[in-house]
Structure 1
Amino acid sequence: MSELVLAPGLEAAAENYLEHIGHADEFGAVDLALNLLDDGVPAETLLLGLIAPAQRRVGELWAADRWSVAREHGATAVSERVVAAIASRVRPEPVLGRVVVACTDGEYHALSTRLLTEVLRLRGWRVDFLGASVPGTHLITHLHQKGPDAVALSCTLPTRLPRAHATLTACQAVGIPVLAGGPGFGSDGRLARLLGADGWAPSADAAADHLQSGGLPSSPVAMDAMAHLADEEYTQLVRRRPAILTGAMDALAGAYPPMARYDDRQMESTAEDMAHIADFLAAALYVDDTAVFTDFVTWTCGVLRARGVPPGALVRGLRVFRDQLREFPRARHLLAEGIHSAHAAETDDADWENER
C-alpha cells in the first residue's frame, strides 16, 4: 500500500469536515474540500486522506451509539456529493485501459467503490462505475458490451461472499480478470484468494498501484479449495433458513421469558438480530472460515455494549441456534466458537467495569 503524504493542515480540516457531514451540511463540506483543492492539496489526498478516514469515523460513531442511522446515512450522502464535486473539478484524460468498478450483488456500501473509481481516473484509467448491488448477469452483459481490461469488485460484508464468488467466476469465464477489495474478503485478502480472485487490494491506492504494476495474471482457485461445500451444510442452512429462524425465535421466547413483554419494535429488532446470526453463520460455512463468524460476534458484542445490552443476550441467541442445528456439525462448531467469543467479550466488560 502506498503512503499518503498529508498536506499541512489537513488534520485540522478533517475535524471540520466531520463536523460538516455530521450535520448534513453539504455546502460546507463541498466548499471545504474544493478550497483545499484550490490551495494545492492533491485530489487523491483529499479522497483518501480526508473523505475515506471520515467515513470510517462515521461507522465507528454509529457502532458506539453516538450517531443514529439517519445521521450516518446523511453523512455518507454528503460525502458522495463531495466526491462528485472533486471529480467534476479534476478531469484527467484517460491514457490507460478500461476498468469496471462495481459492488457485488446485494452490497449497498458504494462510497468506497466511488473513491476507487475517482482514484483510478486520476491515475489515467477509463472507468465504468456501476455502483451498488450489481446483479451478476447484468455485469456480464456489460463486460461483453465494453470489453474492459479488468473488473474491480467490492464486497463489504462477508454475507455477500457467495454472490461475489458467483460473480467473479462468471467474469473470469468471459476472460476478464477480477481485482477484489473490501473487508468482506478479509482484512488480509485470504477470502479473495480462496474464491479465486486474480488479485486483492486493501485500499483504493493499493488497487490502483496493483493495476498499474502490469495487470492481473490469472490465478484460478484450487480444485479442492471449496471441497467443504460437499457436506451441503451451507446449502441446507440457506434452503431451510425461514423455518430455522421461526424455530429459533420460538425457542428464544421460551428460553428468555422477558420477550413476552416485548413490543412490536423490540420483536422486530430481535428477529433482525437472529437473521444476522443466521446469515453470518451461512457465510462462514460457505468459506469454511471460523473468523468470519467470531469476528461478527465480537463486533456485535461491541455494538450491543454501546447500547446497554450485555453480551449474554447474544449468547442466548447463539445457544438457541446451536440447539436447533443438531444435524449441522460444522455450524455447531462455529456457534460454539461464537459463544466463546461472546463470553470473552463479557469478561472484558466485567474487567472494564472493575477498573472504573
Structure 2
Amino acid sequence: MTTVPAPDREHRPGRLLVRARPASPRGDDRVRDHADGLWTAIRAADASSAADLVAGALRAGLAPETVLLDVIGAVQRKVGVEWAANRMSVAEEHAATAVNEHALTALVARRPAPTRGRVTVACVDKEWHALPARFLAEVLRLRGWRVDHLGARVPTAHLISRLHRAGATAVCLSASLSTRLPAAHAAVTAVQATGVPVMVGGLAFGVDGRYARLLGADAWASDARGAADRLAAGPLPAPRPPRQAVDDLPHLADQEYTLVARCARGLVRRTFQGLERRLPPMRDYTAEQLERTAEDLAQIVDFLAAALYVDDADVFTGFLTWTAEVLTTRGVPAHVVPPALDLLEEQLRDFPRARGLVAAGREALGPFVRGRPASAPAP
C-alpha cells in the first residue's frame, strides 16, 4: 500500500504527536525564544546545546514546569507535525526525541524533596510512546509527589506486582494509540482490584476522555497539567468493585472482537495475498515496500479490532483518514487503501459489526479517493 519508508509498526511518531492539537508555546516571548532555540538544537541533533538551552531557560527565571511543558513539550509536538508533513525523516524524528529526552535531565536538579503521596506512572502494555508519561512523572515530581515512573509498555502483571510491593496513592496510566485500549481496560480493572484508583490520559482515550469513561477509569486528564491539578485537588474516588469486561462493554458478548483479534495475522496474510493479485504494481515492489505494505495492513486490522472493542466507528475511520492524509502528503495515492478494505470485508462475512466498520471506513475515505480534501480529522 505504501511506497515510502515508515517507522516500525509499534512506533509511529505521527500517530501520537500529530493527533495532538499543535499549539504555540505558552507564556511570554522568553518561552517562545527558548522553544525556537531548542528547535534549532533538535534539528542539529545537538544534545549538549539542548541541555544547555534548558539550563539557560531556568537561569533566566522560567519555572521548571513551564520549561518542561511549554518549551520541551511544544518542541516535541512540532517534531510530530514535521514528521507527518514529510519534512522530517524517521531517523531525524528518533534523533529529535532522544535529544529532547536528554534535555529533560537539566530539570532533575530542580525537583523538590517529596512532600506528597506516592503516585505510580506507567504506559499500558505494548504502548511505546513513553514521553507523555515521562512529562507527567516530571510534573508530579516538580510538585512534590513521590513518583514511581515505570516507563513504556508495562505488562499489567508487573504493574500489579509493583503496587503490592510499594503501594500508591493513585496510578496514572498513559496510552497514545487506540489499539492499546483493550490492554488499558485490563490494566485499569486489575489496578482497581487492588483498591488503588486509576487516572488515565493520552490520545487513545479520546480528546474528550470518552473511552476513559467507557472503560471505567476513576479519572481522566487531557494533559500533564490537568492530571497534576486533579491529584492536587484531593484524593481520586475509591475504585468500584471489580467487574468483567463484558459487564462494562456488553457488545463484547458477540465475540467479534475476540475472534478478529485472534485471527489478525491470518486476515493480514490473506489480504496481502489478495492485493498482490488485484494490484499488478505490487509485483515490482522492493522488499522494503512489501514489508511496509504488510505493516500498514496490520495497522488497519489492529484499529479495526480496537473499534470493535469499544464499539465506536470513529476509532477506525479516524485512523483511516489520518493515514490517507499522511499518504497523500508523501505522494502516495489514497486509492490504494479501499482494495484492502474490500478484501477484509470478504473475509468478515459472519461479523456484522466488523463489516459495518469496514463500510464506514470506505465511506470516510471517499473524499481522499475522489480528491484530497482541504483538511482531515485526526484519529
| TM tier relative to shorter chain | over 0.9
Deviates more, 1:322-331 or 1:274-283: 322-331
How much does 1:256 deviate? 1.1
Aligned to 1:237: 260
What's the offset of the Cα at 1:68? 0.8
The one-character-per-residue Cα deviations of 1:167-198 (angstroms, maximum 9, x if unpaired) are 11100000111100000111111001111110
Aligned to 1:35: 56
Q: Which residue of 1 aligns with 2:229?
A: 209
| Residue ranges of structure 2 left out of the alignment (5+ in a row) | 1-24
Q: Against the structure 1 CA distance between its residues 160 and 5, is the aligned structure 2 distance closer, same or farther, given a 3 Å change threshold?
A: closer
Q: 1:348 to 1:224 in 2, by over 3 A?
A: farther
Counterpart for residue 22 of structure 1? 43
- Confirm or deny that 1:349 pairs with 2:349: no
Displacement after TM superposition at 1:82 (Å):
1.0
Alpha-carbon distance between aligned partners in 1 of 2:303 and 2:363, rounded to the nearest angstrom: 16
Q: Indicate the residue corresponding to 1:46 in structure 2.
A: 67
Q: CA deviation at 1:211?
A: 0.5
Other-structure match for 1:181: 201
Question: Greater relative contact order: 1 or 2 (C-alpha under 8 angstroms, separation 6 or more)?
Answer: 2
Equivalent residue letter for 1:331: A
Structure 1 residue 91, shift from structure 2 partner: 2.1
Q: What amino acid maps onto 2:77 in structure 1?
A: R
Identify the residue that residue 324 of structure 2 maps to in structure 1.
301
Separation (CA, whole Å) in 2 of partners of 1:155 and 1:206: 16
Taking a change above 3 Å as real, the CA distance of residues 161 and 223 of structure 1, as seen in their structure-2 partners, is closer
Corresponding residue for residue 7 of structure 2: none
Question: AA paired with 2:90?
Answer: V
Give the structure 2 partner of residue 192 of structure 1. 212
Map residues 126-205 of structure 1 onto 2, 5 A cutoff: 126-205=146-225
Instruction: State the AA in 1 paired with 2:100.
Output: S
Letter in 1 for 2:291: E
CA apart distance, 1:225: 3.2
Q: Is residue 2:122 matched to residue 1:102?
A: yes
Deviation of 1:18 after TM superposition, in Å, equals: 1.2
Q: Which amino acid letter does the alignment assign opposite residue 342 of structure 1?
A: L
Give, in whole Å, the separation in 1 of the partners of 2:268 and 2:129: 26
TM-score for the superposition, normalised by structure 1? 0.94
Alpha-carbon distance between aligned partners in 2 of 1:224 and 1:163, rounded to the nearest angstrom: 16
Partner of 2:274: 251
Amino acid at match of 2:258: T
Percent identity of paired positions between Structure 1 and Structure 2 = 50
The AA in structure 2 aligned to 1:281 is L
1:66 partner amino acid:
R
Q: In structure 2, do the counterparts of structure 1 residues 280 and 85 end up closer, same or farther at CA, with 3 Å as the change threshold?
A: same
Contact 1:315 1:343 in 2 (8 A): no
Specify which of 87, 90, 100 is matched with residue 79 of structure 1: 100
Superposition deviation, residue 347 in structure 1: 4.1
Q: What residue in structure 1 maps to residue 20 of structure 2? A: none
CA contact under 8 A between 1:136 and 1:166: conserved in structure 2?
yes
State the SS of the aligned residue for 1:163. Answer: helix
* Deviation at residue 9 of structure 1 after TM alignment: 2.2
> In angstroms, what is the RMSD of aligned CA positions?
1.7
C-alpha distance in structure 2 between counterparts of 1:238 and 1:223, whole Å: 16
Where in structure 1 are there 5+ consecutive unaligned residues?
A: none
Question: Which SS does the other structure have where 1:128 is aligned?
Answer: strand
* Aligned pair partner of 1:115 in 118, 135, 143: 135
User: Quick one: which amino acid aligns to residue 165 of structure 1?
Assistant: H
The aligned length equals 348
For residues 136 and 24 of structure 1, the distance between their equivalents in structure 2, rounded to whole angstroms, comes to: 35
CA distance in 2, matches of 1:338, 1:296: 9
User: 2:14 aligns to what?
Assistant: none
Aligned to 1:316: 339
| Amino acid in the other structure paired with 1:105 | D
> What residue identity is the alignment partner of 1:59?
G
Say whether 1:339 aligns with 2:359: no
Q: 1:351 to 1:306 in 2, by over 3 A?
A: closer
Q: Write the deviation string for residues 58-108 of structure 1: whole angstroms up to 9, x where unpaired.
A: 111111111111110111111111112212x20201111110000001011
Shift of the alpha carbon at 1:22?
2.1
How far apart in 1 are the matches of 2:26 and 2:357?
Answer: 42
Q: Deviations over 1:292-321 (max 9, x none)?
A: 111101110111011111111112222221
Q: Distance in 1 between matches of 2:139 and 2:154?
A: 21
Q: 1:278 Cα shift?
A: 0.4
Answer yes or no: is the 8 Å Cα contact 1:196–1:219 preserved in 2.
Answer: no
Name the counterpart of 2:251: 228
TM-score by structure 2 length?
0.88
Deviations 1:323-343 (A, max 9, x none): 221111111111111111111
